[in-house]
């Protein structure tokens, strides 16, 4: 059976850093759309970016082929370049410091391994419809508590 083709747009937002934060993922499959989003009280923008991706992937019921769009280079570089080095180095950076947000990175690594993901970066606030909508949902999640 062929894997389902899915597109996911994610974004995180924070009022202050740290501060109240929100995250959102827009999942597109054929003619269907599912929005997942939430908030945390005392968090950072990078934690919200990671949480958005993790929860977007958790919302999928099957192993999928995914085009995942993020406006976070922290996510893009972290998952495509840095994570394998971190694992080899015992979750330490090249400066021998513990990886920030390590538990979230471990969770993302685990759930991402269940899918075939094409990680794509999109410039924020540049007119990409679904990136803008993910940003709006993440910001709305902060306010609507």
Q: What is the pTM of this model?
A: 0.96
Alpha-carbon gap, residue 28 to 59, rounded angstroms = 11
Instruction: Tell me the domains of the chain and their CATH numbers.
Output: 4-76+116-143 (3.30.420.10)
Residue 99 · residue 92 · CB < 8 Å: yes
- Per-residue pLDDT tens listing for the chain (145 residues): 578 999 999 999 999 889 999 999 999 999 999 999 999 999 999 999 999 999 999 999 999 999 999 999 999 999 999 999 999 999 999 999 999 999 999 999 999 999 999 999 999 989 999 999 999 999 999 998 6
Yes or no: say if 49 and 70 are a contact pair by the CB < 8 Å rule: yes
Which of the residues are catalytic? 11-12, 49, 71, 125, 135
């Amino acid at each position: 059976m062929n894997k389902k083709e899915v597109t996911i747009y994610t974004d995180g937002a924070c009022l202050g850093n740290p501060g109240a934060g929100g995250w959102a993922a827009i999942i597109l499959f054929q003619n269907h759309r599912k929005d997942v989003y939430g908030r945390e009280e005392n968090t950072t923008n990078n934690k919200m970016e990671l949480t958005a991706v993790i929860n977007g992937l958790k919302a999928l019921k099957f192993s999928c082929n995914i085009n995942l769009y993020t406006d976070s280079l922290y996510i893009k570089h972290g998952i495509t370049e840095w994570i394998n080095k971190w694992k080899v180095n015992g979750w330490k950076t090249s400066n021998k410091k513990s990886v920030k947000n390590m538990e979230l990175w471990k969770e993302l690594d685990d759930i991402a391994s269940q899918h075939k993901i094409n990680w794509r970066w999109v410039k924020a606030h540049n007119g990409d419809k679904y990136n803008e909508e993910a940003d709006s949902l993440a910001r709305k999640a902060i306010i609507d508590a």
